[in-house]
Amino acid sequence: MSKFWQVLAGGMVESFFKPGPGGWLFAGPLVWPRRTYLVTDEQKASLFGPLRRIWWTQTLASIVAAIGLLTFLEDQPALTQVIIIGGAMVVVFILSSVYAALMIRPLLVGIPATNERISFSDQFKARAVALPKVFLIGGAVISLLFFVVGLALALGGETDLATILSTVFFGVLTLLYIGFYFARQRANRQM
C-alpha cells in the first residue's frame, strides 16, 4: 500500500478522535446508538486498526459496487441505474455499520462513556486536513464539470429524473469539495 493511501486512511481514522481530559474522546463510525468514550493512548492504538479496516472496506466496496453495477446495468434506463446504485450505497453503509458494531463494540467494553462530544465540525475539519489539497481541487473541478454538463443538458430540454438527480448530486459534491478545501485552509492557518 502506498504512503499516500496510508496517510489518507490514517487521517480519516484520526477524525474519530479528539484530545480530551486525560486521553482521547472517541466517537465511532455512524452506528446507533452513537456514544462518545474517553480512551487512553493504548486503547486508541487498539481501535485504530479496526477503524482503518472499516474505512478501507467501505471505500473499496463502494467503488467496486458502483463500477460493477454501472457495467452490469449499462443497458438499463438511467433512472434505474441511479436507483440501484443509490440502493447499493445504502446497503454498503448499513453493512459497514454492522461491521463497525461487531469489530468496535467489543473493544469498548468497560470503557466509560462521556457526555462530551466530538462535533460534526471537528470531524469535518479533521477529514479536510487528511485529504490532499490536489485531491480537493481536482475533485472540485471534475464534479463542477459534471454539474455544468448536467445543467446544460437540463437547460437544453433534457429534464428526465436521472439528469436532474445527477446534476444535483454533482452540485452538492462540488460544494462538499469546496467546503473541505476552505476547512483545510482555515485549519492550516490556525496551526
Lowest-confidence pick of 50-54, 138-142, 148-152: 50-54
Exposed e or buried b per residue across 78-112, where buried means at least 16 C-beta atoms within 10 angstroms of its C-beta: eeebbbbbeebbeebeeebbebbeebbeebbeebe
Give the span between the Cα atoms of 98 and 161, in whole angstroms: 32
124: in domain: no
Q: Is the pLDDT of residue 76 over 60?
A: yes
Same domain, 56 and 93: yes
Same domain, 17 and 105: yes
Same domain, 109 and 145: no
Tens of pLDDT along 19-51? 888 888 888 776 556 788 888 889 888 888 888
Domains: count for the chain: 2
81: in domain: yes
Q: Is the pLDDT of residue 85 over 60?
A: yes
Same domain, 103 and 143: no
Boundaries of domain holding 138: 131-191
Across residues 3-23, what is the average pLDDT? 75
Same domain, 95 and 9: yes
User: Is the overall model pTM greater than 0.75, yes or no?
Assistant: no
112: in domain: yes
Same domain, 13 and 69: yes
Between residues 121 and 29, the one the model is more confident about: 121
Between residues 51 and 191, the one the model is more confident about: 51
Between residues 31 and 150, the one the model is more confident about: 150
Across residues 154-175, what is the average pLDDT? 82
Lowest-confidence pick of 26-35, 42-51, 56-65, 168-177: 26-35
